[in-house]
């Protein structure tokens, strides 16, 4: 670091994104991207929007906001559009946390939460997951802090029921509960329906996973109108043109093609079940994932060495070094052909062993 970096930021530990290699072709099963291209309607809409890139994008995201509101049967004033769901999460840390209102989240969850807290100088507490990596909802009842829960969780893929989330929200009426639903479209239940009942619930989602738009960077939040107004205050004080014109248009386009999205999600869920069953035959243990990835370990294979060997063989998965999960690898669910290639590589590794 340079000698000019503020002491306030010198201890910041940044988030480590998944590898995006250049120069070699890999089967990428490491960053939970969709294996399928965006809807043709999204691509066409983005291309048309490119003709007006000399103009600023609409700071109100009016057309996109209305499309999201229509899909979820809510009012447009209950929606905020952002540069990926990371941005709305960051806004939530800024808006609803401070020295007197710490953040709280599980010890094993999305790695950006502690980064957002540290960068915004917000104290935070982590609550250990149970031994089976599930959340004990009793740990969050009446806790009196701003709660962040990824549901399904990452990197485990385990999901809470809406009724369980509701218990947490209802027991913390004076604090905001943020439910990060980045992976909700792969078999779990959304809590959006609760936002009309509870004024302290914020639900965030993304176009990156189920809608094949990771490269476009588009997310959104849904909540009570006053909560969303708070987030807009942060947005307008940060960057009112946070969603570019092509991304906005692509978002509208893909929302007009929900059949395409649902078909892709169904296929990914089928491939997830197939791969999980095949891994189980090979001695792997895994969590009950409701996301577009599998979180798995094999007692006879070191998790880090397995990751390295698969990388040598041209397959990228995600390995985490935290002690509780260092035996595991997170495997994005790709096409059937990609999953078969992974299984073939694992068969070869099991045959040859790791050295």
- CA-CA distance, 94 to 87, in Å (whole number)? 11
* Residue of 194, 214, 201, 165 lying closest to 72 (CA atoms): 194
Write out pLDDT tens, residues 119-172: 999 999 999 999 999 999 999 999 999 999 999 999 999 999 999 999 999 999
Coil, helix or strand at residue 79: strand
User: pLDDT tens digit string along 224-280?
Assistant: 999 999 999 999 999 999 999 999 999 999 999 999 999 999 999 999 999 999 999
Q: Do the beta carbons of residue 190 and residue 184 sit within 8 Å? A: yes
CA angle 164, 98, 118 (to 5 degrees): 90
Q: Is the dihedral of CA 219, 223, 228, 231 positive or negative?
A: negative
Q: pLDDT tier at 23 (50, 70, 90 boundaries)?
A: low
293 pLDDT tier (thresholds 50, 70, 90)? very high
User: Which band of pLDDT confidence, cut at 50, 70 and 90, is reported for residue 64?
Assistant: very high
More confident position, 125 or 14: 125
Mean pLDDT of 64-71: 98
- Report the C-alpha gap between 93 and 101 in whole angstroms: 10
The full DSSP string for 184-235 is GGGTS---GGGGGT-TTEEEEEESSSTTS-GGG--EEEEE-HHHHHHHHHHH
Q: What is the pLDDT of residue 12?
A: 74
Strands laid side by side in the 284-286 sheet: 284-286, 293-298, 329-332, 318-319
Of the candidates 243, 185, 325, the residue with the CA atom closest to the CA atom of residue 62: 243
DSSP structure string for 315-336: EE-EE--SGGGTT-EEEE---H
Instruction: Please say whether the beta carbons of 31 and 18 come within 8 A.
Output: yes
Cβ atoms of 236 and 103 closer than 8 Å? no
pLDDT > 90: percent of the chain: 91
Q: Indicate whether 51 pLDDT > 70.
A: yes
When pLDDT is cut at 50, 70 and 90, the band that residue 11 belongs to is confident
205: tokens are 């989602």
Beta-carbon count within 10 A of 141 CB: 12
In this structure, what DSSP letter does residue 26 have?
-
Beta pairing class for 146-150 and 177-180: parallel
Q: Which residues pair with 301 in a beta bridge?
A: 298
pLDDT at 28: 96
Is there a contact between 346 and 297 (Cβ–Cβ < 8 Å)?
A: no
**What pLDDT was estimated at residue 6?**
79
- Would you give the distance in Å from CA 196 to the centre of its chain? 23
CA distances from 176 to 24, 93, 198, 202 (A): 44, 10, 10, 7
Token output for 215: 């490269």
Q: Read off the pLDDT of each residue in 11-35 and give the average, rounded to a whole number.
A: 82
pLDDT surpasses 90 at 200: yes
């Amino acid at each position: 670091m340079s000698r000019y970096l503020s002491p306030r930021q010198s201890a910041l530990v940044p988030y480590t994104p998944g590898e995006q290699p250049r120069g070699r072709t890999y089967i990428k099963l490491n960053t939970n991207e969709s294996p399928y291209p965006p809807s043709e309607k999204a691509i066409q809409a983005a291309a048309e929007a490119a003709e007006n890139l000399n103009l600023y994008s609409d700071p109100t995201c009016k057309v996109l906001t209305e499309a999201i509101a229509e899909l979820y049967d809510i009012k447009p004033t209950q929606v905020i559009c952002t540069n990926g769901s990371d941005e709305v999460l960051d806004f939530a840390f800024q808006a609803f946390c401070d020295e007197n209102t710490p953040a709280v989240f599980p010890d094993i969850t999305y790695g950006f939460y502690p980064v957002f807290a540290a960068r915004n100088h917000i104290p935070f507490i982590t609550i250990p997951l149970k031994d089976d990596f599930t959340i004990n909802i009793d740990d969050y009842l009446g806790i009196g802090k701003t709660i962040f829960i990824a549901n399904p969780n990452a990197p485990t893929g385990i999901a809470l029921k809406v009724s369980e989330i509701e218990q947490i929200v209802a027991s913390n009426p004076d604090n905001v509960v943020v439910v990060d639903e980045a992976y909700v479209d792969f078999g779990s239940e959304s809590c959006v329906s609760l936002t009309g009942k509870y004024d302290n619930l914020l639900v965030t989602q993304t176009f990156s996973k189920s809608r094949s738009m990771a490269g476009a960077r588009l997310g959104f939040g849904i909540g009570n109108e006053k909560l969303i107004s708070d987030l807009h205050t942060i947005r307008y004080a940060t960057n009112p043109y946070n969603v570019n014109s092509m991304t906005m248009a692509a978002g509208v386009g893909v929302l007009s093609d929900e059949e395409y999205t649902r078909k892709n999600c169904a296929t990914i869920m089928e491939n997830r079940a197939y791969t999980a069953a095949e891994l189980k035959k090979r001695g792997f243990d895994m969590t009950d994932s409701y996301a577009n990835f599998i979180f798995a370990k094999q007692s006879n294979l070191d998790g880090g060495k397995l990751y390295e060997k698969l990388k040598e063989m041209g397959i990228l998965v995600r390995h985490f070094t935290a002690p509780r999960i260092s035996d595991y690898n997170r495997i994005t669910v790709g096409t059937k052909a990609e999953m078969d290639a992974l299984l073939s590589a694992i068969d070869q590794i099991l045959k040859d062993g790791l050295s």
